[in-house]
Amino acid sequence: MKEKGSRAAVRAKRLGCCLCFAALLAGCVSKSTAEARARAAFLAGQQQATMMARQAQIQGPTVTVVGEVRNPLVPWTTELTLAKAVIAADYYGQVDPTEIDVQRNGQEIKYDPKTLLGGVDVQLEPSDVIVIKH
């Protein structure tokens, strides 16, 4: 009987060691990975601070652009069109957008980016929200 108890103790000890080792490995990252994550967090913070400063500077009506853009708030003018707003927002997506939606007064209007590139443009209104999808 003593032998069975000691085998169980050895198995439990081995299992405990394996679990501890697995836990250590799960949290380990290389120095370059840690530096890359820190750099990405720093840049994200910089971008957020820049955006907040820009928002404080913008006065008057705006158009909001949602998606992979550097400038999500675009000052509205009477000449602002959908194409001009996307350019002003500085789209940086890796792929071309497949759809651009304009949300206005609770309604959503869908546009094909190819028609925009073909020269068919849309006049924007203050407080419009543009959603760039891909």
Q: What is the pLDDT of residues 42-93, one digit of tens each?
A: 777 767 766 666 665 667 899 999 999 999 999 999 999 999 999 999 999 8
CA torsion 64-124-111-133 (nearest 10°) is -10
Q: Are the C-beta atoms of residues 62 and 74 closer than 8 Å to each other?
A: yes
Architecture of domain 60-134 in CATH?
Answer: Roll (3.10)
Across 34-43, 85-94, 98-107, least confident range: 34-43
Helix (H) or strand (E) holding 129: strand 129-133
pLDDT cut 70: percent of the chain above it: 70
Q: How far apart are CA 132 and CA 89, in angstroms?
A: 11
C-beta of residue 111 within 8 angstroms of C-beta of residue 82: yes
- The pLDDT, as a whole number, for residue 45 is 73
CA distance 99 to 134: 7
Q: Which residue has the tokens 């949300």?
A: 103
Q: How confident is the model at residue 18 (pLDDT cuts 50, 70, 90)?
A: low
The residue ranking higher by pLDDT, 98 or 37, is: 98
